[in-house]
């Protein structure tokens, strides 16, 4: 039995390269066999990628998140195009819209989002999508610009009705530790309307720690708790669910399910 953490901010858990590798090792010991490393900026990406070069079970996404809209970096489009040539780059992300934090203005965020969606189409890669209080605009844009390889709505936070609309597109739905919170009724209802082959899970570490670990810094090694909670909701045993999630994750990122 093995799990795939589809979204972990390794660089935000710790800065030290050795400690980052320890995080990966501890995840493996907890049956988290593959991890997608996520960075919000191109500057952060370079350092984390170099630190994790020796971790062959860690894959990477590269992109500019809405938090960096005011300073994406010089020649940032060309930088992404260069970085996707590196080994184990499997997606553009995380990208999207965040109206909660009000990074820059909405117009600038939308332009940044659309540019990267079009870039993902050009590069033939899927996208990892950040959405915070911007669901209407995110879905409208994706209806027109979602790249052929599709996307994942990471750390899903909308309701079941939104999910039904999003199912019409080539989108997956990824759930983090907040799925295990008792008051996350919108997420629990959403699980009930989703086909199992469109569901992924993620740690979103160091954020969104599962309920049993509240008060601790989230880690990829805690991912199995989210999986067990999801399995109970879907009436699936641990091994059956792990197999489904493993297949879904590898299919989405275009990886062999070894």
Residues contributing to the annotated binding site for a divalent metal cation: 7, 9, 94, 130, 154
Measured CA to CA, the distance from residue 109 to residue 218 in angstroms comes to 28
Give the DSSP H/E element, type plus range, for residue 110. Answer: helix 106-123
Instruction: Report whether 36 contacts 255 (CB < 8 A).
Output: no
Binding-site residue set: 7, 9, 94, 130, 154
Q: Is 41 left (phi over 0), alpha (psi -120 to 50) or beta?
A: beta
SS3 219: coil
Measured CA to CA, the distance from residue 91 to residue 24 in angstroms comes to 20
| 256 to 65, 242, 253: CA distances (angstroms) | 27, 16, 9
Cα torsion angle, 116, 16, 55, 249, sign: negative
Query: Which residues have CB under 8 Å from 85's CB, separation 6+?
Result: none
């Amino acid at each position: 039995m093995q799990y795939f953490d589809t979204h972990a901010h390794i660089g935000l858990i710790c800065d030290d390269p050795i400690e980052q590798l320890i995080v990966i090792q501890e995840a493996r010991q907890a049956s988290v066999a593959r991890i997608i490393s996520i960075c919000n900026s191109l500057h952060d990406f370079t350092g984390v990628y170099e630190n994790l070069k020796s971790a062959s079970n860690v894959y990477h996404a590269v992109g500019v998140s809405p938090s960096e809209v005011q300073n994406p970096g010089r020649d940032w489009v060309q930088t992404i195009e260069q970085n996707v040539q590196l080994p184990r780059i499997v997606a553009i992300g995380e990208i999207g819209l965040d109206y909660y934090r009000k990074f820059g203005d909405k117009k600038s965020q939308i332009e940044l989002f659309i540019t990267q969606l079009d870039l993902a189409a050009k590069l033939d890669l899927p996208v990892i999508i950040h959405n915070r209080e911007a669901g209407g605009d995110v879905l409208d844009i994706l209806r027109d610009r979602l790249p052929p390889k599709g996307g994942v709505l990471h750390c899903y936070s909308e309701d079941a009705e939104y999910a039904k609309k999003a199912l019409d597109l080539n989108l997956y739905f990824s759930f983090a530790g907040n799925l295990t919170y008792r008051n996350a009724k919108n997420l629990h209802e959403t699980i009930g309307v989703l086909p199992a082959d469109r569901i992924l899970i993620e740690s979103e570490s160091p954020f969104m720690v599962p309920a049993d670990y509240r008060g601790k810094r989230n880690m990829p090694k805690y991912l199995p708790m989210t999986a067990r909670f999801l399995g109970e909701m879907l009436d699936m045993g641990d091994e059956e669910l792990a197999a489904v999630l493993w297949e879904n994750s590898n299919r989405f990122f275009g990886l062999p399910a070894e």
